Amino acid sequence: MKLSSTGIWKLFWIVLLCLPGWKEMHAQDPLPEQPPHDKNSGPVYSSSEMQKLMRFVEVEDPMPASFKNTQENRIDDPTGSLNAFWESLQRLDRPVRIVHIGDSHVRGHVFPYIMRKALEADFGSEAVVDQPVTYRSSGLAQETGVSGIVYHIMGINGATCASFSTPENLHAVAGLDPDLIIVSFGTNEAHGRNYSAEEHRRQLTSFFMELKNRCPHAAFLLTTPPGAYMRSGRRGKTINTRTPRVVETEKRFAADNGLALWDLYDIAGGQERACRNWTAANMFQRDRIHFTQEGYVLQGLLLHEAFIKAYNDYVATKLD
């Protein structure tokens, strides 16, 4: 048998290591009979155990394959304004309260109720009494006093952020002691024929100033409207061209004020495709402003996906 040069060197090292005294001569330190305990190491967990230990939450992508021009479904929070809330949610050693306020999309209860039930499935439902929520019922949760998720829903038909900002409504929100306030307006602002981005920004500034004064410990998540049509002629409808201006105003306001933002409009297709995607999927009601139950269910699932992805990103920072 003829060995290659590599084989010869391998054989050389094997023979050399077997020679008496080789290890003693070349080992820098004597090998202990029992290796010392590694203080920096802990038990080795399986992937499923690690996921449970770190409180990662599984979530699926609900975006229909038929939707075109979609963007990544995520919450933008470059300043980490939600970190304190994520920390409370990870500990979950008390009731963690979310108050979702908005217009008729919220008042219909389906969109936020899907979000509520999904979070209860993720983190436990023991903090609230299990009561069905319908259009005719209250969206406020009844607490049990047990630690867990408490998700309140407060929507008003036809509301804008300005019209919602009454002392009574603000007092009601503050009375729920929220850890997170989800703010979902914009559809009705976009239906104002004389819409002014400057006026809208002033209204947002006043609204959030009032909320922050009354709820100083709350975090905020601003969401953009999903898109809608408007009347064209006596019976026709066309895509509301003011919606992109409203969305841009909200996005800039969030960026300038360090607020977290969930941009449903652009996630669902933006100016080119959002309304067309909703329409092609038969998710608009006849008025082309409000959505079918399937449409609102999808919106709730999309918000849940973005929410859990942001939560998981925060949990992952604990590994650093």
Residues 260-276 have a mean pLDDT of 98
For 231, the 3-state DSSP assignment is strand
Residue labelled with tokens 């996906």: 305
β-strand pairing of 180-184 with 219-223: parallel
Q: Based on the number of CB atoms within 10 Å of its own CB, is 224 exposed (0-12), middle (13-18) or buried (19 or more)?
A: buried
CA distances from 98 to 115, 151, 165, 180, 288 (A): 11, 5, 18, 5, 29
Q: Which of 79, 85, 81, 80 is nearest to 99 (CA)?
A: 85
Distance CA 64, CA 50 (A): 31
pLDDT at 42 over 50: no
pLDDT in the model for residue 320? 60
In this prediction, residue 38 has a pLDDT band, given cuts at 50, 70 and 90, of very low
The whole-angstrom separation of Cα 302 and Cα 120 is: 16
Angle between helices 83-91 and 293-317 (to 10 degrees): 90
288-317: per-residue pLDDT in tens? 999 999 999 999 999 999 999 999 999 998
Of the listed ranges 32-36, 228-232, 245-249, the least confidently predicted one is 32-36
pTM: 0.83
Cβ(186)–Cβ(247) below 8 Å: yes
Q: Which of 41-55, 76-90, 220-234, 277-291 has the lowest mean pLDDT?
A: 41-55
Those residues whose C-beta lies under 8 Å from the C-beta of residue 24, and which sit 6 or more positions away, are: none
Report pLDDT digits (tens) over 146-159.
999 999 999 999 99
Exposure string of 38-76, with b = 16+ CB inside 10 Å and e = fewer, is: eeeeeeeeeeeeeeeeebebebeebbeeebeebeebbbb
Q: How many CA atoms lie within 13 A of 251 on its CB side?
A: 15
